């Protein structure tokens, strides 16, 4: 620190200058001039999004190197899972070359080791789980050192215009150091975030120790079990399950080892101590210097495990004298709303078919006779007059698969065409009315306590293209969730953009059955294990909650045309469908005109 009096700060700044000279003298011989190795922000962003691999894939295709092209496409896709064209390219590679094992060339090794350790743990292969999880921890702490160093590079001062920046010496130093410190503090999030994701795996680092404490117990290494339990408790000192386990391990060691000599791991203590000090300094800066900062907790212990496998810190399948570790997952935070189902269907002709349990899932319902055969035919007639190829997908006629043509239309477009006389107004009005009927049924069946609003309404048809149906192994619509980005490898669904995170419920109302293929399917989070398959037919409706609990897709339509009304709903009025509001206004106007014409004894059809 700078000393007192005039010139007291010279030793401090002397060390700063020597450090700067050291860094510069190391960089230039190894990396060349600064202009050669400090890339522009746009270039860095492209590399972070793995954009070069998209170009690499195309280049490898031109060279007829399909194996390399497939790996490049897979590497790009891992950071851009919403990219439908790359997803289709991958399916094509698998079908043409039979290649199933693809390599992510930018995979973070500590993440790969962690995932492998968890897989072995779930299979009760505890020795292998220990090997991979210990390797993952070594990789994590090594990556943490790299992350800390990288934060000492150039920083962006978003709150300041450079030419107007008038801060004094120590203010300028503080401004820059706070940027560096915030970056270092964020390494916890960075190291727990998979490529292409925004949200980290919550509780990521502590979970390593949580898995390890029980794995070591199962292989009979009680010293390591206690060491890892105590390491976990550094992060969550009030976790009753692990506290109980630690007490049990202590009892097992009595008479052989003094449990008091077994400490939490040094690297965990060091990281946590540093993290707390960083947080303190950032909060001081926020309070005294006006630095914008919000402390986030990425070690929420209820965040990471959302599958049906065991969570290591709660076990009850052991004998009564063993640690009480239950093979069920830890309690999750309560959802924003209480999940219910089984409410009235409101319309006497609507027939209940299956509930969530019968469909092997959560918040699912299958209904028949939502609309009649005549209404299906009428909807089909209006569809042929208003649908546009690629509607809703920026004009891409085959947005999900090159083997089908996709067409669609919105409620507002149907009503406008009806008002202009381009399709029968009665048919256009039917599209509006049946979508409202579906909304009311969904709101009632799931016993929602607040209003369900339309988020998007789309009349869609998928048509099999002739000459392209042989040996198809792709899907009409790939497996996905409606309000989050499905990540099958991580067994997660990330509720973040570009997903429509505001969607709460979904429904599909089918119009016909005279086609081949096209079954609607639910799957597990792995996007492979099918839990329910539904054959569309006129008047059948499937509805479900829109989150990661309900991954779904559509099997290939191999012959004919499959049509349905697709509906997405939200409980947040801020995200009401704008076209639906405009459609409501059109309906109100039409009803007013109808009333006026009726009072004058004029048939509205005559006017149209």
H or E element: which one contains 519? none
**Which residue is associated with the tokens 């918040």?**
363
In the chain, count H helices and then E strands: 19, 15
> Which tokens go with 534?
């539904």
Provide the residue count of the chain.
Answer: 608
**Assigned token pair, 17:** 């200058």
Q: Is 410 helix (H, G, I), strand (E, B) or coil?
A: coil
Which residues have CB under 8 Å from 567's CB, separation 6+?
435, 438, 439, 442, 454, 456, 457, 458, 506, 507, 508, 509
Which residue of the set 265, 364, 562, 580 is catalytic? Answer: 562
Q: Which of 109-121 are b and which e, b meaning 16 or more Cβ less than 10 Å from the residue's Cβ?
A: ebbbbbbbbbebb
User: Helices 266-288 and 169-185 meet at what angle, rounded to 10?
Assistant: 140
Instruction: Return the number of other C-beta atoms located less than 10 Å from residue 556's C-beta.
Output: 21
Distance of CA 31 to the CA centre of its chain: 37
Q: Which residues contact 275 (CB under 8 A, 6 or more apart)?
A: 185, 188
Residue 553 to residues 533, 569, 571, Cα–Cα distance (Å): 10, 18, 23
- Residue 136 CB: number of other CB atoms within 10 A? 25
Residue 276 phi, psi (nearest 5)? -65, -40
Report the 10 Å Cβ neighbour count for 81.
23
| Cβ–Cβ under 8 Å, residues 337 and 437 | no
For residue 498, is the peptide bond before it cis, meaning its omega torsion is within 30 degrees of 0? yes
Per the annotation, the verdict on 108 as an active-site residue is no
Task: Print burial letters for 557-579: b (CB count within 10 Å at least 16), e (below 16).
Answer: bbebbbbbbbbbbbbeeebbbeb
Provide the b/e sequence for 190-226 (b: ≥16 CB within 10 Å): bbbbbbbbebbbbbbbbbbbbbbbbbbbbeebbbbbb
Q: Which two tokens stand for residue 81?
A: 């899972």
In 448-495, beta strands by DSSP E: 453-464, 475-480, 485-487, 492-494
Record the tokens describing residue 373, joined without a space: 């055969």
Spatial separation of the C-alpha atoms in residues 244 and 134, rounded to whole Å: 23
Strand-pair partners of 530: 523
Task: Tell me the catalytic residues.
Answer: 562
């Amino acid at each position: 620190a700078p000393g007192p009096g005039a010139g007291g700060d010279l030793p401090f700044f002397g060390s700063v200058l020597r450090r700067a000279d050291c860094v510069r003298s190391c960089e230039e011989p190894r990396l060349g001039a600064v202009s050669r190795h400090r890339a522009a922000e746009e270039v860095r962003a492209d590399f972070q999004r793995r954009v070069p691999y998209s170009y690499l894939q195309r280049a490898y295709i031109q060279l007829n190197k399909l194996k390399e092209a497939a790996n490049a496409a897979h590497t790009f896709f891992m950071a851009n899972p919403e990219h439908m064209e790359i997803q289709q390219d991958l399916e094509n590679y698998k079908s043409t070359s039979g290649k199933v094992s693809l390599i992510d060339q930018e995979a973070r090794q500590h993440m790969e080791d962690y995932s492998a350790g968890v897989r072995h743990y779930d299979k009760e292969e505890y020795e292998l789980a220990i090997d991979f999880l210990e390797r993952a921890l070594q990789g994590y702490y090594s990556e943490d050192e790299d992350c800390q160093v990288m934060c000492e590079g150039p920083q962006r001062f978003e709150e300041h215009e450079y030419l107007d920046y008038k801060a004094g010496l120590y203010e300028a130093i503080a401004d820059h150091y706070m940027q560096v410190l915030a970056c270092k503090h964020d390494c916890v999030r960075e190291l727990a975030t998979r490529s292409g994701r925004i949200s980290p795996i919550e509780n990521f680092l502590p979970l390593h120790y949580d898995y390890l404490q029980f794995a070591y117990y199962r292989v009979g290494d009680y010293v390591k079990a206690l060491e890892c339990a105590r390491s976990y408790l550094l992060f969550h000192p009030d976790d009753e399950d692990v506290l109980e386990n630690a007490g049990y391990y202590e009892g097992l060691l009595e008479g052989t080892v003094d449990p008091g000599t077994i400490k939490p791991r040094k690297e965990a203590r060091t990281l946590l101590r540093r993290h707390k000090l960083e947080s303190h300094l950032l909060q001081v800066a926020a309070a005294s210097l006006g630095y914008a900062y919000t402390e986030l907790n990425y070690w929420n212990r209820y965040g990471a495990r959302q599958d049906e496998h065991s969570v290591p810190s709660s076990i009850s399948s052991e004998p009564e004298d063993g640690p009480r570790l239950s093979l069920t997952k830890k309690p999750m935070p309560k959802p924003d709303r209480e999940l219910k189902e089984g409410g009235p269907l409101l319309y006497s002709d609507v027939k209940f078919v299956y509930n969530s349990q019968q469909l092997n899932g959560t918040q699912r319902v299958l209904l028949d006779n939502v609309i009649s055969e005549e209404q299906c035919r009428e909807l089909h007639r209006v569809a042929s007059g208003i649908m546009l190829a690629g509607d809703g997908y920026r004009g891409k006629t085959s947005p999900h698969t090159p083997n089908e043509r996709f067409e669609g239309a919105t409620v507002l477009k149907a009503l406008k065409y009806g008002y202009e006389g381009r399709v029968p107004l009665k048919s256009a009005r039917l599209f509006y009315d049946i979508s409202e009927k579906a909304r009311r049924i969904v709101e009632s069946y799931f016993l929602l306590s607040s209003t369900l609003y339309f988020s998007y309404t789309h009349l869609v048809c998928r048509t099999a293209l002739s000459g392209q149906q042989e040996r198809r192994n792709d899907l009409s619509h790939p497996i996905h969730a409606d309000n989050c980005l499905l990540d099958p490898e991580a067994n997660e669904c990330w509720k973040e953009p570009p997903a429509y995170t505001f969607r709460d419920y979904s429904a599909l109302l089918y119009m016909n059955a005279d086609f081949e293929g096209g079954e609607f399917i639910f799957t597990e989070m792995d996007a492979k294990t099918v839990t329910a398959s539904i054959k569309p037919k006129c008047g059948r409706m499937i509805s479900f909650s829109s989150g990661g609990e309900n991954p779904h897709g559509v099997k290939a339509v191999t012959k004919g045309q499959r049509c349905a009304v697709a509906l997405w709903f939200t409980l947040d009025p801020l995200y009401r469908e704008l076209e639906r509001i405009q459609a409501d206004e059109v309906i109100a106007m039409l009803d007013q005109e109808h009333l006026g014409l009726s009072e004058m004894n004029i048939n509205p059809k005559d006017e149209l």
